Structure 1
Amino acid sequence: MPSVLPLRAIALQILFLLIAIAIESSILYRQLKITPREGVQYAATLNLLSTVMGWIVIFIVLNTGVGGQIRRSLDVEIALISLVLFNQAVSVGSNVVGVLVLGALAAFPASFAVKQFGLVLLKWVLDPSLAEAKPLPQPEVRSVMRNPREVVRKEASSPVLAVFLANLLSYGAIVLVLLLLIFIQGGIAL
């Protein structure tokens, strides 16, 4: 009897987490002006939260006991299970491919929202005074003329922008790794 333990999916998930944590920690460290250790801790916490939430959503969609019945076709379910758990693409209709692509596109903003909420929650848990909304100081017109880099650096330290940039770059790296894996397996011809 063949094994049903999706070791390849587990290994890929660990690889993707390591890639995302490495990229996002350096961005969070620079943009949020925190220590490198805190950057790694923030990135690891946010990515683990996002990954757990993502798997919960997948299990709800697959109705594996986590959630209620959601209307879907059997083709979508088979394609999703084979793709997510066993990394095997099943030849299915274009409707199913469209649903899977739409789900993949929805993953980015959903992940960004979860990470943004997680960062606010993490800052509140670690230090409640950090999570308070502080009024932004009025920008000085003269400071832009004197040192434009300083203004850009101050504006770039926004937590929302930092999480968005970190999420964007880590997703880009993961997509490149996935495309490389597909190319190596002979899935597409260039």
Structure 2
Amino acid sequence: MIANVFPFRTVLVQILIMFLAIAIEAWFLQKLLKLEPKTSVEYTAILNLSCTCVGWLVFFGIESVISKDLRERLIGYILLGGSQDIYPAITLIAVSVLAVTFLAKWQGLEIIENIVSGNKKASKPQFIGPPTLSRRLPKKTFQVTTQFGGILIAHTVSNFVILTVLFLQSVNN
């Protein structure tokens, strides 16, 4: 009985997507923000799990207030893989979710680091060394050192890979 009602395929795809996102984002956070591998996996797991839980809660909240026709088409698409007439709405929702989850992950990483460090702000290191004789500015190189940049790159790449996998899955069906 439960197999007829419970959307096993949707849950399984969601879990696999989450594992893929955690792996990709952890690698980027490790490389770009110079985190240890274990720390980057823990941070991305916490961020992705919390974003997924909140996302499903928001989905069920929105689902309860939209029209019956749109609700049936949306749930049919998500749970059963539905028709193409809902693609514009799905695209708008996907872009909104991409932006909101990025902001949530960025703020969530700051919250996690504040909790882990015990709300202690590290003082900025001061350069101690001989003064330079020239007024030439140091050569600028592209380097992502901010949390914002690291999360933006990691989140964008992981979502691009996930969308590519979902697109390839839909083409095969």
TM-score > 0.5 by shorter chain: yes
Give the corresponding residue for 1:143: 138
| Correspondence list, 1:34-113, <5 A | 34-63=35-64, 70=65, 72-86=66-80, 88-90=81-83, 92=85, 96-113=86-103
Give the alignment's TM-score, normalised by structure 1. Answer: 0.78
Q: Counterpart of 1:66? A: none
The 5 Å alignment of 1:143-182 reads 143-144=138-139, 148=140, 151-153=141-143, 156-182=144-170
Secondary structure, in 3 states, of the residue corresponding to 1:17?
A: helix
Gaps of 5+ in 1: 64-69, 186-190
Q: Give 4+ residue runs of structure 1 displaced > 3 Å after superposition.
A: 132-138
Q: Distance in 1 between matches of 2:150 and 2:61?
A: 30
Aligned length: 165
Matches within 5 A, 1:2-13: 3-13=4-14
Q: Cα distance 1:26–1:75, how it changes in 2: closer, same or farther (>3 A)?
A: same
> Over aligned residue pairs, what C-alpha RMSD do you find?
2.4
Counterparts of 1:136 and 1:59, CA distance in 2: 47
Q: Distance in 1 between matches of 2:122 and 2:75?
A: 42
- 1:49–1:118 Cα contact (<8 Å) kept: no
What is the distance in 1 between the residues matched to 2:169 and 2:16? 12
Letter in 2 for 1:159: Q
Asked if the contact 1:29/1:39 (under 8 Å) is kept, the reply is: yes
Asked whether the 8 Å contact 1:116–1:163 carries over to 2, the reply is yes
Per-residue CA distance 1:109-144 (angstroms, 9 max, x = gap): 0110111121011111111346x4977989x95321
Task: Give the equivalent residue in structure 2 for 1:25.
Answer: 26
Q: How far apart, in 1, do the equivalents of 2:107 and 2:122 lie? A: 14
Q: Name 1:16's counterpart in structure 2.
A: 17
2-structure distance, mates of 1:136, 1:106: 38
Whole-Å separation in 1 of the counterparts to 2:59 and 2:122: 34
Gaps of 5+ in 2: 128-134
Does residue 124 in structure 1 map to residue 119 in structure 2? no
Residues 143 and 12 of structure 1, relative CA distance in 2, 3 Å threshold: same
TM-score by length of 2: 0.85
Q: In percent, how many aligned pairs have the same letter?
A: 27
Report if the CA contact (8 A) 1:76-1:99 is conserved: no
